[in-house]
Copies of this chain bind each other. A is one copy, B any other.
Amino acid sequence: MAKKESEGGGGRAQAVHRVLKRAILDQALSPGSKLPEDSIGERLGVSRTLVREALVRLSEEGLVELRPNRGAVVARPTLEEGRNLFLTRMALERLVVETLSGKLTNEQIGILSSHIAAEEAAKKERAPSIRLAGEFHTLLAQMTNNASLIRYVNELVARSSLILALYGRPHSSECAVSEHQELLDKLIAGKTEEAAALMAHHLDSVTTRALLPTDGDRNIKEVLSAYAVAEGLA
């Protein structure tokens, strides 16, 4: 009845995919890191074939960049891409909110509440709090039962971690836990427009708080990189 191999959907290729994705989202592999097929395969005990498949998947999700003949690296979204990504995220999460408003079951409310509690508890540790904050959004999406919506929100949330890793202020809480609680309250009360506005504000505050680089050197690097890509200089 129970499957072996640490559960998971299907074959080992999926497993490799999950491992890499997790490592990227935990920032164990930070943006720009090289992802050589053979060393990854050696470390994970699989052949390059499977690693390659996982890398293709990750590139489709926008988490890694596949440079022809030059290997894969963890994606390094530009500031501009980051802003656009949050715009897209807002459009989709608005749909999430509209779909869920006033329709949450008690069970769902319980799940969300305890998740918020977990966020509160982990507020001090940076890595888990980032992950939990993202999970709140994917959890909401999940509850819509809309497959494409779920997939895209998941993807965008994952990529948001990359953005925040690159451009986020070190000590700002990316998602204020209280905002999650407020949002949940509005959703329960069925106040769709207020909930949507709150979600918009929530995401917007993340972008303005995080995307405007605070310290000069980061700023300079970013400015230069924008020019560099425009000139094809990597």
Contact = CB atoms under 8 A, between A and B. Distances in A.
A148 B92 CA distance: 12
Nearest to A81: B147
A203 to B, nearest CB: 13
B149 A87 contact: yes
A51 to B, nearest CB: 12
Q: This chain: how many copies in the complex?
A: 2
A88 B92 contact: yes
A53 B57 CA distance: 9
A61 B152 CA distance: 11
Size range of the chain A interface in the assembly: 20 to 34
A200 interface: no
A62 interface: yes
A19 interface: no
A84 interface: yes
Contacts of A91: 91-92, 94-95, 149
B11 A84 contact: no
Contacts of A53: 52-53, 56
A60 B60 contact: yes
Interface centre among A10, A49, A52, A60 (most CB of B within 10 A): A60
Given A81-B147, A88-B146, A149-B84, A61 B60 contact: yes
Given A10-B68, A53-B53, A147 B95 contact: no
Given A10-B68, A68-B10, A152-B152, A87 B146 contact: yes
A183 interface: no
Interface of A: 10-11, 49, 52-53, 56-57, 60-62, 68, 81, 84-85, 87-88, 90-92, 94-95, 99, 145-149, 151-152, 156, 159
